[in-house]
A and B are shown apart, each in its own frame.
Chain A
């Protein structure tokens, strides 16, 4: 009996030793991201976090065209259909897929992993991580709302169907669509929380910072039509950073005259490269002609290549379209807000401080306008000239459609057929990719 006892004790005592034994990772090239260093490394993955902004809005915008020949031979249906505002853009063709939805939710997923791990951890490292994660998540939700949900309307936002708001990195949690109001509330709350946690300036412009967060808040309030709050946010941003890039100092003959990460940039991000616009886009001559000859942007932003106008003014310093946040954009938000509340002087002041760096120095003349309406129109005109090919045109079309005076009807002619998109058309909300609908069971947007 004694033998049994000794052996039993021995065997049982072994059990205790196994726990640590099994905690070893099975492949050392894999990291289990749970410390501040590895979580920061996740957020520093610029390919995923900064370079995959959605393109459907840009494809649907009105500043460019694709020639009939190139449109016909383009092999992927969804960009062609989005270009002509079709009801069904995907045509059940799954490959290559439209990644807009998946790319944006991947940023949300990474941010949620970071937030989950940050949990109740404290310390400056973790504060920065939490702030960054909230910023990235808010930025992604903002992008998704501009494409897959109706434009914000105070009166209907409670009932308008928005986007799923995933706040946990679980793959088992069901997907449900929340209201538009709930979506914007999540964004503004996340940004406000992030502002308290983010540093005044980050080690790289690929990482968010306090002024970037204020600029994102200003952009969000502008999309919501909350001009007063947008103005305040813009002013908060200027507390940290307010320098502009003088286009007089740029060499317009370069392939890409605007350097990346220049002093105007608050947060660097680019649109996903979709060849339909990246390679085949030509700027409409009518759009190009809106720039005065003295406007440096005419040479800095565009070049003529075999008879067509190509965009070369990306703040990426390369061919990828910039979609991040800049001082100039925030300044234009500020100007619009002032113009809308009738502060003509303030708005003109903002415009002048920008224009003096955009117009050839020798030819620069301050603007003289009296009426608030004229100033607002001027601000919006300046906005479309300054922020071309940034994914913002679509956002502006959607929000300005809410104001009858600002409404625009879009037309396109492809192979002799004219396609029209009327203001407030339900096709201003793009359809969700079909595999998402199939696998999640959420409802599709009506087109």
Chain B
């Protein structure tokens, strides 16, 4: 009947201008549903049906533009029975839909700022963790390695004291563990949500952006696919000689100088008899006439000739690390069932001898369609990780110490207390109190087992063609059990036993309240989280030009934490016996000359318990007109139990709005270089809990006087406390040249942190203080502005394909307001927060060279050169400090080049950072200072022309201020700009088999300032060593 009607229509209109034509859209011959067919002159459009077919009214000689998400748009002349073959788009960005953790949005309709990483992008860095894989792939994502914990920030800083890292979402729910606990081989894709419109659906936890991780799932109507992969990564021993220490012989003469100038007197006379360097012990013995000068000089000379202790560390403590990862995945599906099963086994031989970890994972997920309009999903994840440490860090304080005697036995190094005292204690009947690093290897048995079990359940029910209901539930339990055992022969146990040994004042008999035998510390921590979500989705399309999508829902989250620690003394592995100890009596410390230095035996008992609860309502909508104009809006209201029970402060409404204009689809748009062009604009708020409580809280203890229960107030009533929030504005342009030879985006953003929570000064009259006169309040605001530029180019086509990607980010963050006390010394602090400057901005004292007669550094105060260091330290005003620059690179990014030729594929990624500064380490003029700048110190008049390192001085009254002045003065600050070779990855694809080899973190290839110092890491750390991996994967 339909065909009859159609024929009639066609015939009747053949003579007219317009005609109805039919056609079919295909991909590799298979019908393609949902393609948009757009008639250019009439501006009418239609869509292809399930068979790929369509009909449309056209004018004679007119053109059709056929587009489909994930396919290359084509322009064809209209004619009857046209078959239009669409090609897959090469760019994964268009292919993958954006996952916000609540919904999937086609990129075309997204107004916000997103970065999507497909499995293919992520697979370039084999053998590495998830966070390592993200580096260099996401514009605006910055890895700050200036502290021991690498802090990941997205688009600058928008908090002062709160958490700066983005929220991690794993398969629809927030993931509370560390990012690197996720097995990278299970990941299908990662979406990074960067602005308010993108992230506002995560409300009060989205202030730092959101990283949404989706794991691999099966597909309906897909054959069984099995993939196996195995990789191995090698990384060398740490480069200990990176740290700039003076040669051993110089260190010995430096210690001698310190001794001769009486710098060890305080330590020597200390009532606790702290250990002194072996050289100093010899000099004391010589001074006291216990050894001859010849003997002491000879011994010291032989010490000065010994090899650097870092060699011993490299020989006896460190080794190359080896990480193995093995994974198996099976996916498949019929019309009504799909599933994915994966298993993994990782083994990590760490770079410390005797220590290793391994992890086994098992994941399962399945979706079934019991009714055509209903999908039920279920799944579980199991993971079991074991960390084993047999060697606690080996201790050796002086560079000339040897770990092995010339006769091959393990040598003693200085630790704890003075060597004559240790010898005397042993003759008095105490345990051997010396420390031999080589004997400590393997003395420690620390096992930390972490088990995770998660269950997911989900239901999606299409109630009506436009309306669906979604319910999700996740329960996760993480259990970590630690057992740390110190062998009875270990230094740790011997030291404790000896410290607590009591001497009878009359008989001199010894008693040991802390018994011999092993010490065991047990710990157990449990984290249980339950999350539930109920959501309604509405989607309607009418008159072919209106498209409305709405969703609304509510979510509940409950995280229960509990844990405890306990300690066992006097454990004997034979017979499993333990010895009870008196944890109440205070004992005099054996090592102390001070009779009042009394301590109780540490009981090692701790109990922890906590509960975080979140409730939220959310809604999100988008409306698209004629596939050209999209408006989005989103709102979310959150509450937690953090702030106490005053609900008016618990609830935090956050919202966003966005606009997108696909300019390229306008008929008046004729700019041929970039036929695809769209503009985006968003505005909105994201939030953060920030810490702190509005209610009075206190903690219990036992009163030392009355033994009654007592309470101490930890937080005063603070009813005006509210959440932190960040106002985000994002403007973006997406563009693509013809055939997508060059495409990319430019985004400008501004993020204003408001109501930021932190300690602000409080009038002592209020009566609240815990050490400092401050209270947690909404006390600061920040502003972070920047640009994210992403540029992809296809340089050559054909047999050898060469593509390039440039990511370039500019970010300038600063503190706007800060209601806290700021003195000049706070300006010099690495964690400063000065209004108008980036957090941690580098300031320095003015430096006017060295005095030509004394080699003392010259500073400047009140516009006059001065050597009054205490005045410089005490009276320099902030205005007199030199503004050096920001420690966080304002310009950063990466350049990737990918060349594929036949079955070969080569990836090279360079990363760069520019425009920031760092402070070099230098010589510290005190006991233990061992920086190589010692050699560059001023020694004679004239040296001031070639060095900025001050002389040694015996003016000890001013030394501390002189040193602090020097270590914070101009000459030590350097530009930190650098380019690194991040990655080289080579792979070979032979049908189902893929082989790849990869080298990562190859180090700095160019840097602005001094060579040999990595400006982006903590000054006391050694740089990450390059790693080399090979991987083999097979799919069938």
A206 at interface by CB-CB < 8 Å: yes
Q: How far does the alpha carbon of A45 sit from the alpha carbon of B612 in the complex, in Å? A: 29
Restricting to B703-733, which residues have a CB under 8 Å from any CB of A? Answer: 703-706, 708-720
Contact with A along B570-583 (1 / 0, CB 8 A): 00000000000000
Residues of B within 8 A of A31 (CB): 697-700, 711
Residues of B within 8 A of A284 (CB): none
Residue in B closest to A8 when the chains form the complex, CB atoms: B536
The answer, among A27, A42, A47, A50, for a CB contact under 8 Å with B713, is: A42
B695 at interface by CB-CB < 8 Å: yes
Q: How far does the alpha carbon of A162 sit from the alpha carbon of B707 in the complex, in Å? A: 37
Restricting to A31-46, which residues have a CB under 8 Å from any CB of B? Answer: 31-33, 37-38, 41-42, 44-46
CB of B469 within 8 A of CB of A106, answer no
The answer, among B641, B704, B763, B768, for a CB contact under 8 Å with A47, is: B704
Residue in A closest to B765 when the chains form the complex, CB atoms: A175
Q: How far is the CB of A8 from chain B (nearest CB, A)?
A: 9
CB of A46 within 8 A of CB of B469, answer no
A5 at interface by CB-CB < 8 Å: no
A244 at interface by CB-CB < 8 Å: no
CB of A110 within 8 A of CB of B767, answer yes
CB of B709 within 8 A of CB of A107, answer no
The answer, among A28, A46, A169, for a CB contact under 8 Å with B611, is: A28
Q: How far is the CB of A144 from chain B (nearest CB, A)?
A: 10
A11 at interface by CB-CB < 8 Å: yes
Residues of A within 8 A of B693 (CB): 26, 30
Interface size on A, residues (CB 8 A): 58
CB of B712 within 8 A of CB of A24, answer no
Restricting to B672-710, which residues have a CB under 8 Å from any CB of A? Answer: 693, 695-700, 703-706, 708-710
A29 at interface by CB-CB < 8 Å: yes
Residues of B within 8 A of A102 (CB): 764, 767, 769, 773
Residues of B within 8 A of A305 (CB): none
Q: How far does the alpha carbon of A173 sit from the alpha carbon of B696 in the complex, in Å? A: 16
CB of B768 within 8 A of CB of A171, answer yes
Q: How far does the alpha carbon of A440 sit from the alpha carbon of B713 in the complex, in Å? A: 22
How big is the B interface, by class?
35 or more
Residues of A within 8 A of B709 (CB): 37, 41, 44
CB of A436 within 8 A of CB of B764, answer yes
CB of B641 within 8 A of CB of A32, answer no
Residues of A within 8 A of B720 (CB): 172
CB of B717 within 8 A of CB of A42, answer no
The answer, among B714, B765, B767, B769, for a CB contact under 8 Å with A30, is: B714
A433 at interface by CB-CB < 8 Å: yes
User: Known interface pairs A47-B704, A110-B713. Does A24 touch B767 (Cβ–Cβ under 8 Å)?
Assistant: no
The answer, among A30, A164, A439, for a CB contact under 8 Å with B762, is: A439
User: Known interface pairs A3-B464, A41-B708, A107-B767. Does A21 touch B713 (Cβ–Cβ under 8 Å)?
Assistant: no
Residues of B within 8 A of A256 (CB): none
A108 at interface by CB-CB < 8 Å: yes
Restricting to A62-115, which residues have a CB under 8 Å from any CB of B? Answer: 101-102, 105-110, 112-113
Residues of B within 8 A of A362 (CB): none
CB of B612 within 8 A of CB of A171, answer no
Residues of B within 8 A of A170 (CB): 717, 766
B922 at interface by CB-CB < 8 Å: no
B252 at interface by CB-CB < 8 Å: no
Residue in B closest to A33 when the chains form the complex, CB atoms: B698
B394 at interface by CB-CB < 8 Å: no
CB of B763 within 8 A of CB of A22, answer no
Interface 9-mer from B150-158, B323-331, B644-652: B644-652
CB of A3 within 8 A of CB of B467, answer yes
CB of A166 within 8 A of CB of B767, answer yes
B881 at interface by CB-CB < 8 Å: no
A14 at interface by CB-CB < 8 Å: yes
The answer, among B613, B641, B713, for a CB contact under 8 Å with A33, is: B713
Residues of B within 8 A of A120 (CB): none
Q: How far does the alpha carbon of A45 sit from the alpha carbon of B706 in the complex, in Å? A: 9
Tally of A-B residue pairs with Cβ under 8 A? 181
Q: How far does the alpha carbon of A25 sit from the alpha carbon of B610 in the complex, in Å? A: 7
Q: How far does the alpha carbon of A101 sit from the alpha carbon of B534 in the complex, in Å? A: 55
Residues of B within 8 A of A107 (CB): 767
The answer, among B469, B611, B704, for a CB contact under 8 Å with A25, is: B611
Residues of A within 8 A of B763 (CB): 175, 436, 439-440
CB of B641 within 8 A of CB of A113, answer no
Q: How far is the CB of B882 from chain A (nearest CB, A)?
A: 25
Q: How far does the alpha carbon of A166 sit from the alpha carbon of B716 in the complex, in Å? A: 15
A7 at interface by CB-CB < 8 Å: yes
CB of B554 within 8 A of CB of A14, answer yes
Restricting to A389-447, which residues have a CB under 8 Å from any CB of B? Answer: 433, 435-436, 439-440, 442
CB of B764 within 8 A of CB of A41, answer no
CB of A439 within 8 A of CB of B467, answer no
A48 at interface by CB-CB < 8 Å: yes
Residues of A within 8 A of B717 (CB): 113, 169-171
In this complex, the member of A27, A166, A169 whose beta carbon has the largest number of chain B beta carbons within 10 angstroms is A27
User: Known interface pairs A31-B711, A105-B766, A105-B767. Does A21 touch B611 (Cβ–Cβ under 8 Å)?
Assistant: no
Residue in B closest to A10 when the chains form the complex, CB atoms: B534
Residues of A within 8 A of B6 (CB): none
CB of A32 within 8 A of CB of B695, answer yes
Residue in B closest to A31 when the chains form the complex, CB atoms: B698
The answer, among A7, A46, A101, for a CB contact under 8 Å with B764, is: A101
Q: How far does the alpha carbon of A37 sit from the alpha carbon of B700 in the complex, in Å? A: 11
Q: How far does the alpha carbon of A175 sit from the alpha carbon of B765 in the complex, in Å? A: 7
The answer, among A14, A45, A169, A172, for a CB contact under 8 Å with B767, is: A169
Residues of B within 8 A of A109 (CB): 713, 716, 766-768
Q: How far is the CB of B373 from chain A (nearest CB, A)?
A: 13
User: Known interface pairs A11-B534, A18-B639, A171-B775. Does A42 touch B711 (Cβ–Cβ under 8 Å)?
Assistant: yes
Q: How far is the CB of B538 from chain A (nearest CB, A)?
A: 10
Residue in B closest to A107 when the chains form the complex, CB atoms: B767
Residues of B within 8 A of A106 (CB): 767-769
CB of B705 within 8 A of CB of A3, answer no
Q: How far does the alpha carbon of A22 sit from the alpha carbon of B645 in the complex, in Å? A: 7
B1009 at interface by CB-CB < 8 Å: no
The answer, among B608, B639, B708, B713, for a CB contact under 8 Å with A44, is: B708
CB of B703 within 8 A of CB of A46, answer yes
CB of B463 within 8 A of CB of A3, answer yes
In this complex, the member of B464, B558, B706, B766 whose beta carbon has the largest number of chain A beta carbons within 10 angstroms is B766
Q: How far does the alpha carbon of A102 sit from the alpha carbon of B767 in the complex, in Å? A: 6
Q: How far is the CB of B611 from chain A (nearest CB, A)?
A: 5
Q: How far does the alpha carbon of A4 sit from the alpha carbon of B469 in the complex, in Å? A: 11
Q: How far is the CB of B799 from chain A (nearest CB, A)?
A: 57
CB of A21 within 8 A of CB of B615, answer yes
Residue in A closest to B708 when the chains form the complex, CB atoms: A44
Q: How far does the alpha carbon of A10 sit from the alpha carbon of B554 in the complex, in Å? A: 11
User: Known interface pairs A29-B608, A29-B699, A171-B716. Does A11 touch B554 (Cβ–Cβ under 8 Å)?
Assistant: yes
CB of A26 within 8 A of CB of B610, answer yes
Residues of B within 8 A of A175 (CB): 763, 765-766
Restricting to A206-259, which residues have a CB under 8 Å from any CB of B? Answer: 206
Residue in B closest to A14 when the chains form the complex, CB atoms: B554
11 pairs from A and B in contact (CB 8 Å cutoff):
A18-B556, A24-B613, A26-B641, A32-B644, A41-B700, A42-B698, A42-B712, A106-B767, A108-B767, A170-B766, A440-B765
Q: Contacts A26-B613, A109-B767 known; list 15 others, CB within 8 Å.
A: A25-B641, A30-B693, A30-B698, A31-B697, A31-B711, A32-B696, A47-B704, A105-B764, A105-B766, A105-B767, A109-B713, A113-B713, A169-B767, A170-B717, A436-B765
Task: Report which B residues bind A (CB closer than 8 A).
Answer: 463-464, 467, 469, 534, 536, 552, 554, 556, 558, 608-613, 615, 639-642, 644-645, 647, 650, 693, 695-700, 703-706, 708-720, 761-769, 773, 775
Task: Report which A residues bind B (CB closer than 8 A).
Answer: 3-4, 7, 10-11, 14, 18-19, 21-33, 37-38, 41-42, 44-48, 50, 101-102, 105-110, 112-113, 164, 166, 169-173, 175, 203-204, 206, 433, 435-436, 439-440, 442
Ranked nearest first, the 9 interchain pairs of A and B with the lowest CB-CB distance are A109-B767, A28-B609, A41-B711, A102-B764, A105-B767, A439-B763, A30-B697, A45-B710, A440-B763
